[in-house]
Amino acid sequence: MSSPETSPPEEETAQSTEPEQPAFGWTLYAEQMNGRFAMIGLVILLLLNFITGQDFWTWLGLR
């Protein structure tokens, strides 16, 4: 009897755990940063509204 041939284990294609490096253009990194800054801006606008009692447009002097 012959033993079945065993092939070396296949390497799994795992995603890299290294953080993405900044690049120019429409990249995943740029979109994530834009989203984070947008969320921070929204929170700041909500705090401005609650603290001063004025909305964004009044605060800018447009109303």
pLDDT in tens, the chain (63 residues): 666 677 766 766 666 677 667 678 889 999 999 999 999 999 999 998 999 998 888 888 888
Nearest to 26 by CA among 18, 38, 34: 34
Delimit the domains of the chain by residue range: 28-60
Question: Nearest 5°: phi and psi at 10?
Answer: -75, 140
Please tell me whether the overall predicted TM-score, pTM, comes out greater than 0.85 for this model: no
On whether the CB atoms of residues 23 and 30 are closer than 8 A, the answer is yes
Give residue 1's pLDDT: 62
- Look up residue 31 and give its two tokens: 């979109």
Q: Report helix, strand or coil for 58.
A: helix
